[in-house]
Structure 1
């Protein structure tokens, strides 16, 4: 498998929904922020809106859906969006550490986080912080120091040969790593009859495949939870086994 929010992961804006009953006119909680606050209120041993977050049990969406089956406050769609937002926040991603325990909705320890899950969360956090937290490269280039005064005709500072040497060395190391990378594992499409909740599979996301567990199946649409805890919606055609 939280995005900035510390994180800069986008927050779903509030929307207005017409009451379903004029007799019981009640505005439902529909924004992602409100749903997360509602979950923290209903399951305080599992969710929180400030301070350190707790890693969530893989497959917790299904547990929550069952617990909230008779609760009109939040739909499955909104619940899925809220979980995706919560688990992609910087605060949550920082909690995914090696050997830390995931918790269920009652706060009980579940499985331990392994190295692969911890590495994935760290990578996701770094990429998110780089994308949303740092200045754009072109902004940095615009502030490149110059020699002499700021008068017309000033020449840019000479390139540091040491920096060039470091870049060449870094690129050389990257090339070496690519050369010794493991061959890709051949994946097999999962038969539709085997696409069931709780099944461990490989999900194709972009150019890479990741380990995941199926949490919900609705026709050709399938919701899976990655090892990082993040919930992703995909289709049966993107589900595979080794």
Structure 2
């Protein structure tokens, strides 16, 4: 085949519809039901069947790459490997006898099947371990959350009874007069030190001296 012919063939392959291996196997089962199957006992395939497939499906909308991948997946399946017993009859695309499985091939199939099952069992065990680990981790979190004491709602501080304050008569706003001064929301005992234009200077019981307006003085 010339380089130009090879290029044309490659381009034709690339234009064919892409299928997954699963879709391709289903297609082969429909196209060659006496050779391929999805259920029941599988039949060992003729040695070199790929070339027969490539020729038979040359004008079909499936690439050789897809065929090769699908054939590999099919022949590595547990059902197919189990069918490859010594002296089992191989079949061609039409289901006709096309050789038998020899002892060496049967041994290889049995070994591949055992390895596949062992790998599957290992994956399942790792998955179960991961699931158990996740389960107990979640359970531990839940138990820890339940054991943690709930935050008690803080009781509001008891409100002090409102003081009965009487406004101080202006005539009593004199130096030395004992009064009550409203500081914030509470009153404190104080003594008038001086009466000034900007306010009344008083000394609180705590010893602190402040200047307040007259309306903050009470008897």
TM value normalised by structure 2: 0.49
Q: Greater RCO between the two (CA within 8 Å, min separation 6)?
A: 1
Larger Rg: 2
- The TM-score with structure 1 as length reference comes to 0.44
